[in-house]
Structures are given as C-alpha cells and as structure tokens.
Chains A and B, each alone.
Chain A
Amino acid sequence: NAGVTQTPKFQVLKTGQSMTLQCAQDMNHNSMYWYRQDPGMGLRLIYYSASEGTTDKGEVPNGYNVSRLNKREFSLRLESAAPSQTSVYFCASESWGGEQYFGPGTRLTVT
C-alpha cells in the first residue's frame, strides 16, 4: 500500500519556467490538499479538492493552479516560477475519519 506518492522528489527551475508537481493516493480518499512548507512557518495550504471535480483556493494560492484529474490524482502547476516559490511542497489526502496523510514531499528551488 503506497499511500500518497509525489513526483518529482527534487526540482530546480529558473525564474519564469513552468512545471507540474504530481500527486497520487491509493486510499480511495475524497479530499486532497497541497501545502507548502517554509522554514519557521509551518505548513500552509495552497489549494484543496474536497472531491473529484472540485478545487478551491487555500490561504496562499497566488502563482499556482491545480487539477483534480480523477479521484486518485491531484496535480499542482507553477505557470511561471518565481524565487518566492522555493519551498518544500506536500500533498495530502484525508480519510473519512478526518486524518490527513502526507506524501514524502517535493523540494523545489527556483533560481
């Protein structure tokens, strides 16, 4: 049982480049989330998807877009990367019991 998987694990981008972070879960969860983690700031919610076909903004959505491709997959896209988006990105899915399970993260550096 893989749980929540994320690709890639590491990525270096130049300012202005685009990329998509992939996330998949095999636990049949409805709700999925994207967070970013920055030193001294804990994790902050970027976007979420309460169910297949729906997406909503979290507290720091600027510069990002998301796609809930199906129940398993929830991707995060940076259209034009900026140095302020250097961070570690975590995907999570939520069980019926309200517990969120996190993937291993993607460490992104924008130069």
Chain B
Amino acid sequence: AQSVTQPDIHITVSEGASLELRCNYSYGATPYLFWYVQSPGQGLQLLLKYFSGDTLVQGIKGFEAEFKRSQSSFNLRKPSVHWSDAAEYFCAVASILTGGGNKLTFGTGTQLKVEL
C-alpha cells in the first residue's frame, strides 16, 4: 500500500533563509506526487505536482521540488522564505482507484514557522 512520510512535524526558519521540507513515499509504480499548503482555517492549495519528465518541478509562490526515485523522495524547497509562507505543508501521492479517479494519500504534514 502507498504511504507518505514527512519526518519533520515542525520547522522554524528565519525570514530570508532557505527552506527544505522532506517527503518520502512508498509506491509500487511511477508515482504522481504533489505538495499542498494549508493556511490556518483554510483549505488546501496545490503548490506543485510531479507526473513525469523533468525531475525538478517548479510551482507557485517560488517553490520547487525535486523527485529522486533512488531515494523515494520528493523534497520541497524555497531559496528565500517570506513571513507569509508560514503554514502547514502536505506531501501526497496519488493512486488509481478501482472505480476511477485517484486517491491522494497524504503525509501528516510539516508545520512551518517563520521568524522575523
């Protein structure tokens, strides 16, 4: 069965510092991978996705992620964090449902705090 591990529950960075959020997945086939961000009291917003091709994918808000098959990882990065990036970040892997569509299996999330 597919699974996603986000080893860091909380991360604190200073504004302007670089950021890397870790994500490891377990999936038998070529994975479809996603990063979502959730601000307090809000829904989830898609940051970026990886389906195939270039292993470095660019997303919104200056985020990027790199797919590494050998390490089963899909880490999220940002060169310079802004205070508005404080939120919870979720990594997810998609699997095909027998009835059609795709189930997203989420990690437990990483809470990002940004110090001014």
A94 to B102, CA, bound (A): 8
Asked if A31 lies at the interface with its beta carbon under 8 angstroms from chain B, I say yes
Per-position 1/0 for B41-54, Cβ under 8 A of A: 11111100101000
Closest to B109 in A: A42
A residues in contact with B107, CB < 8 Å: 42
Give the contact stretch, choosing among B64-72, B76-84, B93-101: B93-101
Q: Once the chains bind, are B42 and A94 in contact (CB under 8 Å)?
A: no
A54 to B100, CA, bound (A): 10
A residues in contact with B10, CB < 8 Å: none
* Count of chain A residues near B, Cβ 8 A: 29
Known: A40-B108, A42-B106, A103-B43. A50 touches B90 (CB 8 A): no
Asked if B114 lies at the interface with its beta carbon under 8 angstroms from chain A, I say no
A residues in contact with B106, CB < 8 Å: 42-44
Asked if A45 lies at the interface with its beta carbon under 8 angstroms from chain B, I say yes
A51 to B103, CA, bound (A): 14
Q: Once the chains bind, are A56 and B98 in contact (CB under 8 Å)?
A: yes
Most buried by B among A30, A49, A56, A102: A102
- Residues in A lying within 8 Å of B, measured CB to CB: 4, 30-31, 33, 35, 40-45, 48-51, 54, 56, 58-59, 90, 94, 98-105
10 closest A-B pairs (Cβ-Cβ)? A50-B100, A42-B106, A31-B101, A56-B99, A102-B43, A50-B101, A102-B44, A104-B43, A43-B106, A42-B108
